[in-house]
Chains A and B, each alone.
Chain A
Amino acid sequence: MLQEIVISGFGGQGVLSMGKILAYSGMMEEKEVSWFPAYGPEQRGGTANVTVIISDEAISSPVVNQFDIAIVLNQPSLEKFESRVKPGGALIYDGYGIHKKVERTDINVFKVNAMDESMKMDNTRVFNMIILGGLLKISPMVELENVMKGLKESLPERHHKLLPMNEAAILRGMELVEQEQQAV
């Protein structure tokens, strides 16, 4: 198993922390993991992105150009990463942030209406966990149990009371996935 994933959006959307939780989850499942952020000034206001790799074998390059899955949470991210999804791979987007259609027909496209849902839940801070739920539904690369362990590991103890809320958001995200397009 080798999953090369990019998560990209505005700074503040929880892109880096979602990647971190995913990496921790992979580690809890005794997989090899790497997490490489674009740590540049784009973190502040522009697009932030992080590459997460989860693999059964040692990871060669933490920097890759082509992804199995791209999670794009705003329009600039779609423009940057649509062309870099491997044929047959998946692109996941949040309906709120994307206003142009995905043009490629050789990839699977999924919509997770995480922003709308997080507003319904009256808690926009779980936005990224809803997206994570969607990802895990589309590609169950790690067990939910290990995701929860990973979440616990990546959160400081004072935030552990927020774990049930995050789990609920992940589960909600799993229900929300809509497949918009199948690779032809």
Chain B
Amino acid sequence: MSEEIVLMKGNEAIAHAAIRYGVDGYFGYPITPQSEIIETLMEVAPWKTTGMVVLQAESEVAAINMVYGGAACGKYAMTSSSSPGISLKQEGISYMAGAELPALIVNVQRGGPGLGTIQPSQADYFQTVKGGGHGDYKLITLAPNSVQEMADFVGLAFELAFKYRNPAMILTDGVIGQMMEKVKLPAWQQRRSEQEIREQCPWATLGKTADRKPNIITSLELDSAAMEKNNERFQAKYRVVEATEVRYEEIKCDDADYLLVAFGSAARICQKTIDLARKEGIKVGLVRPITLWPFPTEVLYAYGGRVKGMLTVELNAGQMVEDVRLAVNGQIPVAHYGRLGGIVPTPEGVLAALKEKVVH
């Protein structure tokens, strides 16, 4: 066995991956079920080795604005929280989208609304992919389904965020955050030097040099005509992301008569349902969106012409199902099955729903 393979929680994997990726700063405020992220960072104390800053802010709002400041300087800056804390960060996320700042926000979801429960949930899907904060913006959203992907998506999120100068979110939940699995942590990467940041981020406010005008980072533009132009530029960028960055996984779809559509922890549960269903002769496959925005619309549309029905499985009252229905565009029925308030569906429960709602 390679020494690099370790057993850890999804939350711990995020912390270790961030240090290894060369993240410059983590700013957060503890909340269950994601406190292991900041706890692990504090325990490993990367400020002594890589120089990464780890700071427990006075609130979630402070933390997201520290991320804004770090990102404005071209730094790899990140924060993490769980649902109620992510709600508090929405203003900052909207400002970062408006100022075109790249950063990573991790949401280890718990059941809401309000303070709700500390148990797993996927009820922040709408908040994440339909806005959350104000204004016409999009958040690049990655949905890991394993501890391995928790580790891998830290780097991927920063890559995409910096490629498009846009905030990115890892949208996960208490199942993936709290569970332990084997994980191969990413390779060590040096933190970028100031020179490297200047080259990678000519827009960053690192101090003006003689050969250019001052860089200004702001989301404010009081001239409506100019603000419309900004918005048009954002929208053009979003269309490029939608055309280039869609990621998804297909499991046992080749001969499928029916499809499950699920992301994150729900997709893991569905994998077991597939085995149970196939034992009973029901040919079912799974499409797992890995990017929730951009959403795998085209692949789902194509399956709409091939399979007899779809069931989305979510830890919510039916959110992604709306995007699946839009994608399928009425070709076949699309049903939803979910458990609420922190209850995690079982593979058997999903199978029963599949039979009741989809298989006829």
A34 interface residue, CB < 8 Å from B? yes
Given the known interface contacts A30-B1, A60-B268, A63-B269, the answer about A36 and B346 at a Cβ–Cβ threshold of 8 Å is: no
Taking a contact as CB atoms under 8 Å apart, the answer to whether B181 and A60 are in contact is no
A40 interface residue, CB < 8 Å from B? yes
Interface of A is mostly: mixed
Taking a contact as CB atoms under 8 Å apart, the answer to whether B179 and A60 are in contact is no
Taking a contact as CB atoms under 8 Å apart, the answer to whether B175 and A63 are in contact is yes
Residue of B nearest to A31 (CB): B182
A41 → chain B closest CB, angstroms? 7
Chain B residues in 8 Å Cβ range of A23: 7, 180
Residue of B nearest to A41 (CB): B118
Residue of A nearest to B176 (CB): A62
In residues 268-309 of chain B, which contact A (Cβ within 8 Å)? Answer: 268-272, 274-275
Residue of A nearest to B7 (CB): A27
Chain A residues in 8 Å Cβ range of B5: 27
Encode contact with B along A83-120: 1 for CB under 8 Å, 0 otherwise. Answer: 00000000000000000000000000000000000000
In residues 141-162 of chain B, which contact A (Cβ within 8 Å)? Answer: none
* Interface size of B as a range: 20 to 34
Chain B residues in 8 Å Cβ range of A64: 272, 346-347
B73 → chain A closest CB, angstroms? 36
Taking a contact as CB atoms under 8 Å apart, the answer to whether A34 and B179 are in contact is yes
Taking a contact as CB atoms under 8 Å apart, the answer to whether B7 and A66 are in contact is no
Given the known interface contacts A64-B347, A65-B346, the answer about A36 and B175 at a Cβ–Cβ threshold of 8 Å is: yes
Taking a contact as CB atoms under 8 Å apart, the answer to whether B344 and A63 are in contact is yes
B333 interface residue, CB < 8 Å from A? no
Given the known interface contacts A32-B182, A33-B182, A63-B175, the answer about A39 and B268 at a Cβ–Cβ threshold of 8 Å is: no
* Interface size of A as a range: 20 to 34
Chain B residues in 8 Å Cβ range of A63: 175, 265, 268-269, 344, 346-347
Taking a contact as CB atoms under 8 Å apart, the answer to whether A27 and B346 are in contact is no
A10 interface residue, CB < 8 Å from B? no
B178 interface residue, CB < 8 Å from A? yes
Residue of B nearest to A27 (CB): B7
In residues 18-38 of chain A, which contact B (Cβ within 8 Å)? Answer: 20, 23-24, 27-28, 30, 32-37
The 9 closest A-B pairs by CB, nearest first: A60-B271, A65-B346, A61-B272, A35-B180, A60-B272, A36-B179, A61-B269, A61-B268, A39-B178
Interface on B for A, CB 8 Å cutoff? 1, 5, 7, 32-33, 117-119, 174-175, 178-182, 265, 268-272, 274-275, 342, 344, 346-349
Q: What are 27 of the A-B contact pairs (CB < 8 Å)?
A: A20-B180, A23-B180, A27-B5, A27-B7, A32-B182, A33-B7, A33-B182, A35-B180, A37-B179, A39-B33, A39-B174, A39-B178, A40-B117, A40-B118, A41-B118, A60-B269, A60-B272, A60-B347, A61-B269, A61-B272, A62-B175, A62-B179, A62-B181, A62-B268, A63-B268, A64-B272, A65-B346
